[in-house]
Amino acid sequence: MFERETKLMAKAIKKLGKIFLQGADEKTAKGSRDYVTDKDLKCEEILINTIKKYFPKDNIVSEETNKSNVLADRTWIIDPIDGTLNFMNYLPECGIQVAFYAQGESQLSFIYLPKLDEFYFAKNGGGAYLNGKQIVVNKNLELDQCMVSFSDHKVDEKLKKAIAQKVMSTRLFGSACYSFAKTASSSTAAYLIANNNLWDYMPGMLLCKEAGCTCTSGEIDGTTYNLACCNENLSKFITREIKKMAK
């Protein structure tokens, strides 16, 4: 199921690597610490044109030009360049991410980190893959062996500190797709993102779930949390700390 969607989107995303590696020529501020570049717009345009050509009736939610659209059956969720600040400053922690939602669930996930030449793919019920090789998370880690990464804003500072006191180390990579990918491939043990933008968390959550992570989502005090952990014990610990912060 969804073989045609998989093949066409994977091909389109991989082709964008050349455009991505050229770097940004123009940038525009969208808000505090938030920019859009000419390459964001170009990558999004190419992906949308691909969808419209082969799947003209499909719905699209994308960060730059279709952010107000809502989920419906057969929706493509697109973040053309995730980690734009990293991209603008020639750091490798940035990439392209796309999810496909149908039949009430995320069905496909694509994350491409062009600067690292790492292509991640996941299919609902079909596993997670890095450059064609299946990846499975290391579930046998104690808390003091775990490295946890956070989204770079909105996560409560007290919560970060509480988690940091129990785990091996914490990180802020500044890119959701990179952080999710590194959790799915066991470079880190968990990623906590406080964000309700579909394009920021949907591709990564499916990738991590299919790699064997414990994935949870919820809202506390108006903040939406999405969490992917290598094992259930780490997930329970972080979830417990989140709930403490809400009291």
- The 10s digit of each residue's pLDDT in 130-150 is 999 999 999 999 999 999 999
Output the average pLDDT for the chain.
93
Higher pLDDT, 28 or 184: 184
Examine the pLDDT at 61 and tell me if it is beyond 80: yes
Q: Residue 18: its pLDDT value, please?
A: 84
pLDDT of residue 216: 95
Residue 185 confidence (pLDDT): 98
Question: Which of the pair, 156 or 192, is modelled with greater confidence?
Answer: 192
Decide: pTM greater than 0.85: yes
Mean pLDDT of 156-179: 96
Q: Where residue 46 falls among pLDDT bands split at 50, 70, 90?
A: very high
Q: How confident is the model at residue 32 (pLDDT cuts 50, 70, 90)?
A: low
**Confidence band of 31 (pLDDT split at 50, 70, 90):** low
Beta bridge partners of 77: 61, 99
pLDDT tens per residue, range 194-224: 988 999 999 999 999 999 999 999 887 778 8
User: What is the pLDDT at residue 247?
Assistant: 61
Q: Does the pLDDT of residue 70 top 90, yes or no?
A: yes
Q: Dihedral sign for Cα 81, 40, 121, 109, please.
A: positive
pLDDT band at 26 (very low <50, low <70, confident <90, very high): confident
Rounded Cα–Cα distance for residues 226 and 187 (Å): 19
Take residue 102 and report the two structure tokens written for it.
């149908």
Span 64-88, average pLDDT: 94
Specify the pLDDT at position 33.
66
Percent of the chain with pLDDT over 90: 82
- Split at pLDDT 50, 70, 90, the class of 154 is confident
Average pLDDT over residues 52-65: 96
Task: Report whether pLDDT(24) > 80.
Answer: no
